Structure 1
Amino acid sequence: MILAVINIYKPGKYINYINKNLEILNKLNINTFISINDCKNYVNKFASEKIVIKENNKNAMPAYGFNKGIEFGLANDYDFCYFIDQDSLISELTIKTLMKEEEKHNFSFLASNVVDESNGESLRYFRGNLNNSMTFHSIRPEHYVKNPKINAAGYTGIFLNLKFIKKHNLMIDESYKIELDDYDFTYRLSKKLPGYLINDSKITHPNKKDSRNNWIGEVIDAYIQLFFLNRKNREYLHIRNYRTLIIKYGKGPFKVLKSSLMRSSGLNNILRVLKEIKG
């Protein structure tokens, strides 16, 4: 059995995305666990015998909601769960394609190909298995067609092997708050059993431009300009968490280089904030 897990927080225009996803999931006879944060007025919109709603009394982070979904899946003997962000859209083939691939791989997780909702371009949400290290840049989209092994992926579109998770007691680390907890989680899974990117399983997502979506730009962002992020209120948190991942999982000279750059980036960010406060 498959359980879909959706996190909802003040969805705004994305309420239409959620409804479309629920229609598809219902058509596929897939039950859904919805974690709703700080939006009581949305609860009754999703009432259905195939939908379980967990209403949180706090402004919970995505990790909390997805963990609750995993716990529900484990407690109710589901075999797999599939994560969907509120601003993502699936098709009828998204999960069907994963189920066909499920029979071909021994995996901890599979990942749908996350594509830009505006133009269908594949986004760089996946880390490769090169040297089994977190210090390397993402897999280039031209390699997606090979359904490559991956060792890290974003939340939306990941298909989890719940029997494996139960066996190894691997849950999401909520101490990361919001930035890179998904990479940490999937990396820890892949250390025990590989993850795979499944190219033909598509899920859309807005391209939020946190990093440039091309190989040269990404290398520059990753190794030189880590602190130039558009969502300014999350700059330092992103840097701190990324550095934590590198220290925990990185290997070789790139670990030292990238960690040093991030330390410098963090200091520059603090100085910039102090300058703004000083006025």
Structure 2
Amino acid sequence: MERIAAVVVTYNRKELLLQCIQHLLDQQEAVCDVLVVDNASTDGTAQALKQMPSPRLFYRNTGENLGGAGGFHFGMRWAVEEGYDYVWIMDDDSLPQPRALAELWAAHEQLNGEYGWLSSRCLWTDGELCPMNVQRVTPYKDLAEPVQKLAPVQMASFVSLFLKASVIEQMGLPLRQFFIWTDDWEYTRRISRVLPCYAVWGSTVVHAMKSKTIVNIATDVPERMFRYRYFYRNDVYLYRREGLKGWLWLLAKDAWHSVQVLQKSSDKLGKLKIIWGGFCKGICFTPQIEFCKSIKRK
């Protein structure tokens, strides 16, 4: 029997994680095991999961905070090496609706397995599309709400991404060196260069993040500034592979972000250093793709 693993990466969001797990265990017309990757949470996550016994729930602690990128790298390797045939990945604040997996599986069957990955429609808690998780039809253009249930796309977030373990074996794992941000764009674009990929509009997940506003260095709080160092560096790695158009996109984007910083920020110099320091680091950033193989799949 073919097996599906839902890989959930968590870090200090115990209450949201428990909701996510329950939504996964309650899926209708489709069954998955749940593999929780804990980035060394300090909020009692491990103890809470002991109060949620299920033969389909498995837990591993990474021992340190690997970031989202490292967590998904860890979890997808775990799933593939354990012999799962399909991997469904998401953040710990994702709430897959009752038929989310069933609709992904229906798309899988409709396509006869001929795809790189499938991505669910992602809503925020108000029922509207979550801007951070809208798929892209090109590296530069968001998907407009499609008429058809299956829409060809090239990039997607890791909030409800479904793919075959064989694709992971072929294309490698997410780049753990990214730590946070852009790892999902890079990974899905890596695959869509080779295989057709689709947004599945019948599969719905609610992303229960605090705010649906797209992150902005010009207005974000000081405690989150360290994240942007990864964002601007990782973006260069992603878009430089798109050739001249990618470089022009990068320069235009970072220039616009710089204008916003000059207009809206008090720490103008510090934020400009983050933008263009990250840009410079990205030029020579060369992380290596790592691969894995099943050691248990028959």
| TM-score, L = length of structure 1 | 0.79
- What RMSD, in angstroms, separates the aligned Cα atoms of the two structures? 3.0
> Counterparts of 2:125 and 2:73 in 1: how far apart (Å)?
26
- Any stretches of 5+ residues in structure 1 without a counterpart? 213-225
Q: Which amino acid counterpart does residue 57 of structure 1 have in structure 2?
A: G
8 A Cα contact 1:210 1:230, kept in partner:
no
Out of 75, 85, 102, which is 1:69 matched to? 75
> Counterparts of 2:29 and 2:57 in 1: how far apart (Å)?
13
Out of 55, 60, 66, which is 1:60 matched to? 66
Q: Residue 152 of structure 1: SS of its match in structure 2?
A: coil
Does the C-alpha gap of structure 1 residues 175 and 94 become closer, same or farther in structure 2, counting only changes over 3 Å?
Answer: same
Out of 108, 133, 136, which is 1:128 matched to? 136
Q: Residue 75 of structure 2: SS of its match in structure 1?
A: helix
Moved more, 266-275 or 154-163: 266-275
Out of 247, 252, 270, which is 2:240 matched to? 247
Out of 141, 152, 155, which is 1:137 matched to? 141
Give deviations 1:179-204, integer Å, cap 9, x for gaps: 11110011101111121000010000
Give deviations 1:63-118, integer Å, cap 9, x for gaps: 22222222222223211111121111012200001101101221111001011122
> Counterparts of 1:46 and 1:26 in 2: how far apart (Å)?
19
> Counterparts of 1:191 and 1:87 in 2: how far apart (Å)?
29
Larger proportion of helix: 1
8 A Cα contact 1:124 1:138, kept in partner:
no
> Counterparts of 2:240 and 2:219 in 1: how far apart (Å)?
21
Does the C-alpha gap of structure 1 residues 200 and 127 become closer, same or farther in structure 2, counting only changes over 3 Å?
Answer: closer
Does the C-alpha gap of structure 1 residues 120 and 260 become closer, same or farther in structure 2, counting only changes over 3 Å?
Answer: closer
> Counterparts of 1:74 and 1:30 in 2: how far apart (Å)?
14
8 A Cα contact 1:153 1:186, kept in partner:
yes
> Counterparts of 2:191 and 2:80 in 1: how far apart (Å)?
16
Query: Within the alignment, does 1:228 sit opposite 2:232 as a pair?
Result: no
Does the C-alpha gap of structure 1 residues 250 and 45 become closer, same or farther in structure 2, counting only changes over 3 Å?
Answer: farther
Q: Which amino acid counterpart does residue 63 of structure 2 have in structure 1?
A: N
Does the C-alpha gap of structure 1 residues 272 and 59 become closer, same or farther in structure 2, counting only changes over 3 Å?
Answer: same
> Counterparts of 1:34 and 1:271 in 2: how far apart (Å)?
40
Aligned to 2:270: 273
> Counterparts of 1:195 and 1:26 in 2: how far apart (Å)?
24
Aligned to 2:103: 97
Matched positions, count: 256
Q: CA deviation at 1:171?
A: 0.8
Aligned to 1:215: none
> Counterparts of 1:110 and 1:83 in 2: how far apart (Å)?
11
| TM-score, L = length of structure 2 | 0.75
Does the C-alpha gap of structure 1 residues 255 and 147 become closer, same or farther in structure 2, counting only changes over 3 Å?
Answer: farther
Moved more, 195-204 or 32-41: 32-41
Aligned to 2:286: none
